[in-house]
Amino acid sequence: MSLGIFFIGLPFILSSALGYKFSRHTLKFTKTGLIFIKTQPEGAKIYLEGKLISQRSPASMQDLAPGVYKVALELAQHYPWKGEVDVEAGKVSRLDKIILFPLRPNLVRLNRDQLSSFRIDAQSKLIYYLDQLNRVVYRSDFAANNFEDVASLPQGFTQISGWEISADRKKLFIFNQRQISVIFFDNQGDYGYPDASVFWDYTQEKVINVFWHSDNYHLVVLTDKHVQVVEARGQSKPLNLVELNKEATSAFYDVKEDTLYFNDSQNLYKLELSSNLFLLERLMAQQFQAVKPEQKQNTNE
C-alpha cells in the first residue's frame, strides 16, 4: 500500500523538484516561475492576489504558475504600493526597485526672506537664492546655515528672465530680453573686475539665452539675430560669431566641451567654442565671423 502511494506521488515530487506544478485546470504539469520583491525600506507586508504571505520584504515567492498576479505592499507610516507582475515559466520576475515613501516627509523651509528663484551648487553644497523684490542674492549651505547676502541686484532691471552663478562662484549674470548684467561677489584681483556691475543694453535685438563660458570670463549670448561672445568687463562689446536668419527657439550649452547647441523652427545647430582662452581672444581680436557668405545661404534652407 505504502509503495503504491509512493509511486503515485513520485511524479509530483519530481516535477516540484524540477520546477513544475500540476494544474487542476489543464490536468498537466506546468513549469513555474518566481517573484522576488525588495523594498526600501525593508519589512513591508506582502499581499499576493489579496492574501497576506508569511514573509516580509525582501522575499521570494516560488512555484507560481505562469500568469499575471496582483501584488500589494504595506508598511506602517508609509504610502502603500500596488501593482501587477507577469510571471513567466522558468523565469524570475523582479520587483526590486520599489520605494515606499513616508506619509509625513521631512519638509524644511530653507529661505528666510522672499524667494523668486534659486540655484543649487551640488559640488560645493551651496544654495543661492534670488530675492527679486528686495533685489538681493543670498547664499547658504544645504542646511540653511551660514545664511548671507552675497550681491545686490542693480536697480536698472525691471524684470529678470534668467540668471546663473559662474563656476568660480565669484559672480553671476542676470538678463532679460533687452539687458544683460554681470554682478560680482568678490572683485579682488580677478581680470581687473570693476567695483560696479557691468551692463549691456540690447535695443536692436532680443536676448534669448545667456551662458557662462568655461573660462568664467566670457559670456555666450544667443539673441534673435546672433550668437555672440562678450567679456565680463566694463566697456567690452559683444562679438557676433554667427548671424542668424531665423530666431532660435531653444538652446543648450555644454560647458565641459564649450559647445552651444541651438535650434530654430527647422534645424538644430552645433557651435564649438574653443576652451583655449588665447585662441578665443585671438578670435575676438580678429573679429572672426563663423558663418561665411556661402554658409549663410545654407541656413536659409
Distance CA 163, CA 146 (A): 22
Give the tens place of pLDDT for each residue, 139-194.
999 988 888 888 888 887 878 999 999 999 999 999 999 999 999 986 544 444 55
Domain range list for the chain = 34-104, 154-298
Q: How many CB atoms lie within 10 A of CB 128?
A: 20
Do 154-298 and 34-104 fall under one CATH topology? no
Residue 4 buriedness (CB in 10 A; 0-12 / 13-18 / 19+): exposed
Q: Which residues pair with 130 in a beta bridge?
A: 117, 137
Q: What is the CATH number of domain 154-298?
A: 2.130.10.10
- All three cell numbers of 133: 523684490
Q: Say if residue 58 is preceded by a cis peptide, omega within 30 of 0.
A: yes
Residue 94: pLDDT band by 50, 70, 90 thresholds? very high
Q: CB–CB of 60/34 below 8 Å? A: yes
- Which CATH number describes the domain made up of 34-104? 2.60.40.1120
The pLDDT tens digits of the residues spanning 96-107 come to: 999 999 998 888
Look up residue 126 and give its three cell numbers. Answer: 551651496
Residue 39, all three cell numbers: 523594498
What pLDDT digit, counting tens, does each position of 7-25 carry? 445 444 444 544 556 555 5
Q: Within 10 Å of residue 122's Cβ, how many Cβ atoms?
A: 8
CA-to-CA dists, residue 109 to 103, 106, 112, 116, 147, angstroms: 18, 10, 8, 14, 13
Spatial CB neighbours of 248, under 8 Å, sequence gap ≥ 6: 208, 222, 224, 262, 263, 264
Nearest to 60 by CA among 23, 29, 31, 91: 91
In whole numbers, what is the pLDDT of the chain averaged over residues? 83
Q: How far is CA 141 from the centre of its chain?
A: 20
Res. 293 pLDDT band, cuts 50 70 90:
very low
Residue-level pLDDT at 83: 96
Q: Radius of gyration (Cα) for the chain, nearest Å?
A: 32
How would residue 251 be classed by pLDDT, with cut points 50, 70 and 90? very high
Tell me the three cell numbers of residue 32.
513555474
Q: Which helix (H) or strand (E) holds 6?
A: helix 2-17
**Residue 279: pLDDT band by 50, 70, 90 thresholds?**
low
Q: What are phi and psi of 59, to 5 degrees?
A: -155, 160
Predicted pLDDT at 101:
95
Least confident piece of the model among 58-67, 145-154, 275-284: 275-284
Is the pTM of the predicted complex or chain greater than 0.95? no
Residue 284 is predicted with a pLDDT of 53
Q: What is the DSSP letter of 42?
A: S
